Structure 1
Amino acid sequence: MLKKFQNDETLAEAVSDQIESLLQKKPDALICIAGGETPLKTMAELVRRNKKGKIDFSKAYFVGLDEWVGLGRETKGSCRQTLYDYFYDQLDNVQPDHICFFDGKASDLDTECKRIDTFIEERGGIDFILLGVGMNGHIGFNEPGVPVDVNAHVVDLDDVTKKVMSKYFDQDLPLTNGISLGMKQIEQAKEIVVAATGAKKAEIIERTIQSEPTTEIPATLLKNAPNTQFFVDQEAGARV
């Protein structure tokens, strides 16, 4: 299902409405919010509602979507830095041990993947996931050609991802891998919102909406899930 919004603010309000409604029904829901630029407005809106007492995150659980292999919170632009600085640390009453985030600097990445998998499985899966879509259609670090039947895994970064990643960092970083939830876990989430904002996302949104599900455009795979909604602002949705 495709929904168009006037701008990124109204889109963020709609996502926040869904999360607010979910937590009223299930206070201990497991929520996943992507890093990157697109979700920042939603994070800000959720923090605003939390400060006003409209949303209570005290029983909620959170799991990270992905991380650049080799990076930790100290690197500006890492997924951990974004989520903690703009969201988790801004919330009132969130429980630190309710947050499970990939450690991009872990010495054993397979064990790190299993740790994330276990956290999700113990909570019966993800209740709500907010995703962005990459310029190449990637979801998290599930790049074109991704296997569809895996849980958390390590990924070789696509050339397109390597080209655009400089926007996140204030230094040149020789990053070659990501660690990410797998498409299997993502597709099994009970509510999925794929958000895109800005004119630069218009082409990939057009390709995603008009293409049959294919691993070459990972975002299209989410069309197989009956609980997926694509949220776009006017600019990102200009071609659909």
Structure 2
Amino acid sequence: MQVIIYDDAQQVAQSAAVWVKTLIQQKPDTVLGLATGSTPISLYKELVDEHKKGNLSFANVKSFNLDEYHQIEETNPQSYRSFMKQHLFDHVDIDQSNTYLPTCAIGENPRAQGLAYEEKIKQAGGIDLQILGIGANGHIGFNEPTSSLVSRTRIKTLTEQTITDNSRLFSADEEQPTMAMTMGIGTIMDSRYVLLMATGKNKAKAVLDTVAGPLSAMCPASVLQMHENAVILLDKEAASELADHEYFQWTDEQNKKLNAEFGLFHNF
């Protein structure tokens, strides 16, 4: 696990954009795993800006989102399809028929839908780079605490904390979903690279448990300790409960030297 600490959230987004841009330039038919939530928005803005400058094309890219609310219409403004269109898909040259979310409409069997999503990922060759945020309770995707560390795409009931955290996005007259389809932890761990972004003081405890705590289903993100190519991008607030900041900085400086010689990605 590589931990990189930046001064602020904007630097986290800029660094994440460099990782995505570098991979797409190296492998134009990259398969991206994408996340929603407030943290990735600044990353998507950076990518859109790079595209508009003519520095980045998504023409051959495929994408798979981590999650989607259960039984929500794609056209619903609260759907994650709408989120992705608003923040990325409608502003770059990606073929939207190559963008996938783990949907489950009314009348569809969520178990069958989960298996079908896994098959789509397999047929695409697997995910090259998975973008992650992290919940205050340590969830990745909608894999809430106690989720199996080898789980696959499936339906999950959201915790009260997650529902409360997301309630700010819903108006009083909107029905807020309590269930969602999500990639499993095992699905995420199959990605060749994982890039987790965390910003803000409210994520500091989850970051501590992820990086320095025990491997535990009570902090699903802690499984990234077992991933060969997991990169954790933090601002100082999110990293505030971590010890050894000087070591993380020293390690980052050494990795920059290796990256300058051999590149960010070593197996494409």
CA contact (8 A) 2:136 2:206 kept: yes
- SS at 1:148 equivalent: coil
Moved more, 144-153 or 103-112: 103-112
Q: Give the alignment of 1:204-223 within 5 angstroms.
A: 204-223=206-225
- How many residues are aligned here? 239
CA contact (8 A) 1:36 1:79 kept: no
Match of residue 237 from structure 2? 235
CA contact (8 A) 1:192 1:228 kept: yes
String of CA shifts for 1:137-163, please: whole Å, max 9, x gaps.
Answer: 001010111112232111111221122
**Which structure's CA Rg is the greater one?**
2
Match of residue 173 from structure 1? 175
Match of residue 82 from structure 1? 83
Name the amino acid aligned to 2:235: D
Taking structure 1 as the reference length, the TM-score comes to: 0.94
Taking structure 2 as the reference length, the TM-score comes to: 0.85
Name the amino acid aligned to 2:34: I
Match of residue 112 from structure 1? 113
- SS at 1:38 equivalent: helix
CA contact (8 A) 1:125 1:185 kept: no
String of CA shifts for 1:150-201, please: whole Å, max 9, x gaps.
Answer: 3211111122112212022224525221110011110111110111111211
The percentage of aligned residue pairs carrying the same residue is 25
CA contact (8 A) 1:142 1:183 kept: yes
Deviation at 1:29, TM superposition (A): 0.9
Match of residue 16 from structure 1? 17
The runs of 4+ residues in structure 1 deviating greater than 4 Å are none
Q: Give the alignment of 1:36-55 within 5 angstroms.
A: 36-55=37-56
Match of residue 95 from structure 1? 95
Deviation at 1:106, TM superposition (A): 4.6
Q: Determine the C-alpha separation between the residues in 2 that align with 1:149 and 1:31.
A: 21
Unmatched segments (≥5 aa) in structure 2: 243-268
Match of residue 187 from structure 1? 189
Over the aligned positions, Cα root-mean-square deviation in angstroms equals 1.5
CA contact (8 A) 1:120 1:126 kept: yes
CA contact (8 A) 1:155 1:180 kept: yes
Q: Determine the C-alpha separation between the residues in 1 that align with 2:176 and 2:78.
A: 14
Q: Determine the C-alpha separation between the residues in 1 that align with 2:73 and 2:215.
A: 34
Moved more, 142-151 or 110-119: 110-119
Moved more, 74-83 or 62-71: 74-83
CA contact (8 A) 1:66 1:141 kept: yes
Match of residue 261 from structure 2? none
String of CA shifts for 1:11-52, please: whole Å, max 9, x gaps.
Answer: 111111111111122111110110010000000000000111
Q: Determine the C-alpha separation between the residues in 2 that align with 1:167 and 1:74.
A: 20
CA contact (8 A) 1:106 1:112 kept: no
Is 1:141 the counterpart of 2:127? The answer is no
- SS at 1:39 equivalent: helix
